[in-house]
Structure 1
Amino acid sequence: MAARKDVLLLAGIFTTSGVVHLVRPSVFEPLMPTFVPRHREVIVGSGVAEIACAAGLAHPRTRRVAGWASAALLVAVFPGNLKMADDARRSGNRRLRAVAYGRLPLQLPLIAIALRAARRG
C-alpha cells in the first residue's frame, strides 16, 4: 500500500507542476538551458507530459507505461534543475540556493517511485 501512496504522491506532484507549466510558463523560462530550442513550447509540452504522466500513474491499467514515461521525464528535465542550482549559486540568494540545491537530490526518490510503478504496474 505504501508504494501506491508514493505513486499517487508523484501523480499529485506532476499534476501541480503540469498545471503551473500551462498557466504560468514564464516561471520556468529562467530554468531553460540555452541548448534547448523554443523554450515556451518545450515548457508547455513538458506541462502536458506531466499531466499525462499523472493521469497514467493514477490508473492501474496505465501505471506501468506511465511509470516509464515519468522516469524518462524526470531525467529529461534534470538539466533545468542543474541550471537552476547553478544560477542560484551565482545569485548569492541563500533561500533560492537552498531550494535549488534541495531539489537536486529529491529527483532520485521521484525517479525511484516512477521506476517502481513501471515494474509493478
Structure 2
Amino acid sequence: MTPHKWRTFGLWTLAILYAVAGYFHLTTPDPFISITPQWVPFPTTVIFWTGLAEIAGAAGLIQPFSAALRRAAGIGLALYAICVFPANIHHFIMDMHRADHGFGLGYHIPRMLLQPVLVWLALWVSGVTDWPFRRR
C-alpha cells in the first residue's frame, strides 16, 4: 500500500476513533470523570468539552473542502492527545494501586507508548508532516 493510501486509511481510522470516543465522553462521562486528575477544575465540564473537541477534530479531519481546516484539526487532535496524557498517567497510577491492578500493565503500558504515536498520527494524516515519508 502506498503512503497516500496509508494516510487515507489512517485519517478515516483516527476520525472514527475520535468520533466514537467523543460520543462516549458525552453520553457516558462517568468513567472519564473518574480518571480525571483531582487538580483539573470542573471535571464534568472538562469531559463534556473534550467530547465535543474529539467530535469536532474528527469532523475536521474528514471534511473534503479545506486542507487548512484538516491541518488545523490534526494540530488540535495532536494537542488534545498531549493534554489528556496526565489523565492517562493518573488512571495508570490509580489502577496499579488497586488490589487487582484494574486493567493491568497489559493495558496501560501500550496505552502510554501509543500516546506519542497518536500525536504523530494526527499530524501525519492531516498533512501537517510527511515524516518519515517523503512526497514524490
**Residue 103 of structure 1, CA deviation:** 1.3
Normalising by structure 2, what TM-score? 0.82
Distance in 2, matches of 1:95 and 1:106, equals 19
Give unpaired runs (5+ residues) of structure 1: none
- Give the letter aligned to residue 85 of structure 1: F
Moved beyond 3 Å, runs of 4+: none
Report the number of matched residues.
121
Give secondary structure in 1 for the equivalent of 2:41. Answer: coil
2:91 aligned to which of 76, 79, 84: 84
1:73 aligned onto 2:80: yes
Whichever structure has more helix as a proportion of its residues is: 1
Residue correspondence of structure 1 range 79-118 to structure 2 within 5 A: 79-94=86-101, 96-97=103-104, 98-116=106-124, 117-118=126-127
Q: How does 1:22-101 map to 2 (within 5 A)?
A: 22-60=26-64, 61=66, 62-94=69-101, 96-97=103-104, 98-101=106-109
* 1:88 alignment partner AA: D
CA RMSD of aligned residues (A): 1.7
Question: What whole-Å deviation, never above 9, does each CA across 1:21-73 have from its counterpart, x for those lacking one?
Answer: 00011111111111100010000000000000000011241211100001001
1:93 aligned counterpart, secondary structure: coil
Deviates more, 1:59-68 or 1:16-25: 59-68
Structure 1 or 2, whichever has the larger Rg, is 2
**In structure 2, what is the Cα distance between the partners aligned to 1:74 and 1:85?**
16
Distance 1:31 1:103 in 2: 14
- Answer whether contact 2:96 2:102 (CA < 8 A) is retained: no
